[in-house]
């Protein structure tokens, strides 16, 4: 396991994933019934953008670093909970600390909502465990993500969001992500599943999307944000999310928010947003 999220925290892919996650959590909060977020690849919790790892890549400058100036009113209203978490994490102003998905989520969740945060990397798992030491709403585990989903689904709350966010380091990771989604849906058909994938000059996105389409799941939305052209050896040109059991009207919100983010984070005229149904709601 070479991947460490500290090198990539706050980049354009994090901004896409986290702003969409925030909207999903806000949708879940419209009903009083508690829900659970299962973050199968949780990372370390919070990242220091002034730290050695983030400094080595400077990736956050092309992501969250480009969001300082306000957007139009409608986009700002959708981003408000995300901005509120960033402000709470940085009470001195500026943007030194950036939340990982489990920290961001828990700050927006209610007293009765629950988080399962799973991280396999032994060092990040220890940091994550410490981060949530005094947090009764969090259940921190350190197992393979596939095992975690098998063990934790269906959740006792019977309402939930499941985030599948692997690093796609291993050759078979696209197939494994789709397999986790398929197995997850068998255990918890009504769950809202969010599967992240990279847009690179390779077949990963195609493999993931073909696999997701083949599941025949309901209300499957594809959300992509591209910041530049993909070329061999050129790394991450953008990223995407396949959302299963998409909440009602989330697509309309994302059709406002994602183009605004792509316009800001895209290089030159390369910023491109896609919000499209893979399979529309029945
Ligand atoms: C993209 S990062 C997660 C970022 C995090 N979800 C966020 O948005 O802040 C992927 C994480 O998955 C972890 N990981 C890699 N393989 C894993 C596996 N088989 N099971 C669980 N976690 C794994 C990595 O150590 C890394 O921390």
Domain boundaries, the chain: 5-279
C-alpha pair distances (Å), 120 with each of 75, 129, 181, 270: 35, 12, 18, 35
* Mutation test residue for ligand 1: of 144, 148, 164, 166, the one with most atoms within 8 Å of CB: 166
Q: Which of 86-95, 160-169, 226-235 has the lowest mean pLDDT?
A: 226-235
Domain 5-279 has CATH 3.30.70.1400: no
Check residue 200 and give its pLDDT: 96
Over 80: is that where the pLDDT of 62 sits?
Answer: yes
The rounded Å distance from CA 237 to ligand 1 centre is 19
- Kindly list the distances between the CA atom of residue 160 and the CA atoms of 35, 91, 116, 229, in Å, as whole numbers in the listed order: 5, 31, 11, 35
Closest atom, ligand 1, to C-alpha of 104? 9
Kindly indicate the confidence band of residue 68, based on its pLDDT and cuts at 50, 70 and 90: very high
**Average pLDDT, rounded, for the chain:** 96
Length of the chain: 282
Our answer on whether the CB atom of 3 is closer than 6 Å to any ligand 1 atom is yes
Among 14, 39, 165, 251, the one annotated catalytic: 165
In this predicted structure, what is the pLDDT of residue 137? 98
- Place 61 in a pLDDT band, splitting at 50, 70 and 90: very high
pLDDT at 55: 84
Residue 1 has pLDDT above 80, yes or no: no
In the chain, % of residues over pLDDT 90? 91
pLDDT confidence of residue 135: 97
What is the pLDDT confidence band of residue 112, given thresholds at 50, 70 and 90?
very high
Tell me if 112 CB under 6 Å of ligand 1.
no
Q: Is 144 a catalytic residue?
A: no
Report pLDDT for 53: 87
What local confidence, expressed as pLDDT, does residue 56 receive?
A: 87
Q: Which atom of ligand 1 is nearest to the CA of 21?
A: 8
Q: CB of 119 closer than 6 A to ligand 1?
A: yes
pLDDT tens-digit readout, 192-214: 999 999 999 999 999 999 999 99
Q: How far is it, in rounded angstroms, from Cα 243 to Cα 254? A: 12
pLDDT digit string (tens) for 5-43?
889 999 999 999 999 999 999 999 999 999 999 999 999
pLDDT (0 to 100) of residue 20: 98
Distance 73 CA to ligand 1 centre (A): 34
Ligand 1 binding pocket includes 99 (Cβ within 6 Å): no
**Are the beta carbons of 212 and 198 closer than 8 angstroms?**
no
Q: What is the pLDDT of residue 27?
A: 98
Ligand 1 midpoint to CA 115 (Å): 16
As a whole number of angstroms, the distance between CA 64 and CA 47 comes to 13
The reported pTM is: 0.98
Distance 48 CA to ligand 1 centre (A): 17
* Smallest CA separation from ligand 1 atom 13, residue: 41
């Amino acid at each position: 396991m070479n991947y460490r999220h500290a090198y990539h925290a706050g980049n354009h892919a994090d901004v896409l994933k986290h702003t969409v996650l925030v909207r999903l959590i806000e949708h879940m909060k419209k009903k009083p019934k508690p829900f659970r977020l299962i973050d199968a690849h949780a990372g370390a919790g919070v990242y220091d953008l002034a730290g050695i790892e983030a400094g080595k890549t400077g990736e956050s400058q092309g992501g969250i670093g480009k969001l300082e100036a306000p957007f139009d009113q409608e986009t700002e209203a959708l981003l408000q909970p995300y901005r509120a978490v960033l402000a709470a994490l940085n009470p001195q102003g500026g943007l030194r600390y950036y939340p990982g998905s489990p920290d961001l989520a828990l700050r927006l969740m209610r007293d009765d909502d629950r988080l399962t945060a799973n991280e396999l990397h032994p060092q990040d798992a220890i940091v994550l465990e410490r981060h949530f030491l005094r947090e009764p709403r969090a259940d921190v585990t350190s197992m393979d993500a596939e095992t975690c989903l098998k063990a934790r689904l269906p959740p006792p709350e019977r309402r939930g969001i499941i985030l599948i966010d692997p690093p796609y380091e291993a050759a078979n990771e696209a197939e494994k992500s789709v397999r986790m989604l398929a197995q997850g849906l068998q255990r918890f058909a009504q769950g809202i599943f969010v599967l992240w994938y990279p847009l690179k000059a390779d077949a990963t996105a195609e493999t993931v999307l073909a696999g997701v389409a083949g599941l025949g799941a309901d209300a499957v939305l594809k959300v992509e944000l591209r910041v530049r052209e993909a070329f061999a050896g050129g790394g991450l040109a953008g990223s995407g999310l396949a959302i299963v059991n998409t909440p009602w009207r989330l697509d309309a919100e994302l059709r406002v928010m994602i183009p605004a983010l792509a316009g800001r984070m895209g290089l030159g005229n390369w910023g491109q947003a896609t919000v499209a149904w893979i399979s529309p709601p029945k």
